[in-house]
Amino acid sequence: MTAYQDIIEKIALEVKPLLQEGKVATYIPALSRISPEKFGMSVATVKGELFTIGDADEKFSIQSISKVFTLAMIMDRIGDALWERVGREASGNPFNSLIQLEYENGKPRNPFINAGALIVTDLMILENKDPLQDLLGFVRKCANNPEIGFDAEVALSEKMTGHRNAALASFLKSYGNLVNEVERVLDIYFHQCSLSMSCVDLSRAFLFLANGGTDPRSGKMICGPRQAKRINALMQTCGLYDECGEFAYRVGLPGKSGVGGGIVAVMPGELVLTVWSPGLNPSGNSLAGMKALELFTTYTARSIF
């Protein structure tokens, strides 16, 4: 649909006044220096088409979007055994809540809040001899870009200021729900969040979730259809932290956000849409990005509902 280019160009103009309204993630120093004026958007279709606007080729810190990649890897390795250590329900609380973790006796509500992602990272260490290189290889394969890497400055910045994540990891350890040492889990987790990718990279990397688990470009299976369906379901219910209901109402697609300002949304059977705008709303999701995705599903009259 060549009209996608016209649509995203129209959206970019409409959301421009919103770029200054959000607040960049100042609690991670390396992210606080990113200009809130940045805006990129890309659409990759299962037919091989690509449409872009703005800063769609500029790399940024994908942060919690990385949790989809680690989840896909672990689900492929251990399947339903994952759910013995982490739940599948929406949290309704901030992504770094300690209160909910204590209330539920050390079992995180889902794999996309920080506590749940730390469990997945712990499993990554158990299942991979070199978890960071294996993750990097997986992401590069999904995006078909061998140049993707970790941002060392962001990883260090997260390590120096990630006290809440350190508390969550220690809390999990105290409940016996973390096998590896806290410092090891945190190091892997901070590095995975520092993955540096562009909107184009992310749209291409998520195409397997729009195509039943198979990369439509190469024909190679990334995960099984059952897993792809369930990852999309988890993104729909848990991918935007405590704003999942709002995202479902306004956008109507499975999605995953990160505090770097990126949001990826999947339209199964058709396309992947990625937007990047660093200014965040109070829930930690891109303010202009949310609006851009809402406008896209409005103008195309396409969603899963």
| Rounded Cα distance, 300 and 66, in Å | 28
Per annotation, catalytic residue among 67, 173, 256, 291: 67
| Rounded Cα distance, 250 and 240, in Å | 12
| Rounded Cα distance, 116 and 118, in Å | 5
Nearest to 59 by CA among 274, 287, 297, 291: 274
Whether 179 is a known active-site residue: answer: no
Per annotation, catalytic residue among 64, 66, 91, 286: 64
Per annotation, catalytic residue among 46, 68, 86, 259: 259
Per annotation, catalytic residue among 46, 157, 185, 189: 189
Whether 64 is a known active-site residue: answer: yes
Whether 299 is a known active-site residue: answer: no
Whether 59 is a known active-site residue: answer: no
Per annotation, catalytic residue among 61, 157, 173, 241: 241
Kindly list the catalytic residues.
64, 67, 189, 241, 259
